[in-house]
Amino acid sequence: GAVVSQHPSWVICKSGTSVKIECRSLDFQATTMFWYRQFPKQSLMLMATSNEGSKATYEQGVEKDKFLINHASLTLSTLTVTSAHPEDSSFYICSAPDGQGTGELFFGEGSRLTVL
């Protein structure tokens, strides 16, 4: 099946710094990618929909200036957590629908962010 890769898988940073997480579709093109956030022992919360060539669509309650999303190409979307604080520590997961119209979503391995 299709593969979605995230990088880095784990990042630790100091409070106030910015962190960029990449999501790549390795063997298919993804005009749309989704970013989720998962707190320990909780479900995934959809943060935003990343659209290639246009602005991302953010879910209610998600700060656009805090979580910058850029979908620069058909295989790459990035999530930048700006001025990170400890409460931003979480597991961030991206996904992309396959290009065949089945509705199947392929998920990245997730990126664990720890802000000290």
Q: Could you tell me the smallest distance in angstroms from the CB atom of residue 42 to other proteins?
A: 7
Under the criterion CB under 8 A, does residue 26 sit at the interface with other proteins?
no
According to DSSP, residue 87 is labeled: G
Start-end of H helices in the chain: none
Interface pick for other proteins out of 17, 108, 113, 116 (rule CB under 8 A): 108
> What is the rounded distance in angstroms from the CA atom of residue 105 to the CA atom of residue 94?
10
Query: Is the preceding peptide bond at 8 cis, omega within 30 degrees of 0?
Result: yes
Site for other proteins in 76-105 (CB under 8 A): 93, 95, 102-105
Q: Which is nearer to other proteins, 27 or 104 (CB)?
A: 104
Neighbours of 42 (CB within 10 A): 10
Footprint of other proteins (CB under 8 A):
1, 6, 34, 41-44, 46, 93, 95, 102-110, 112
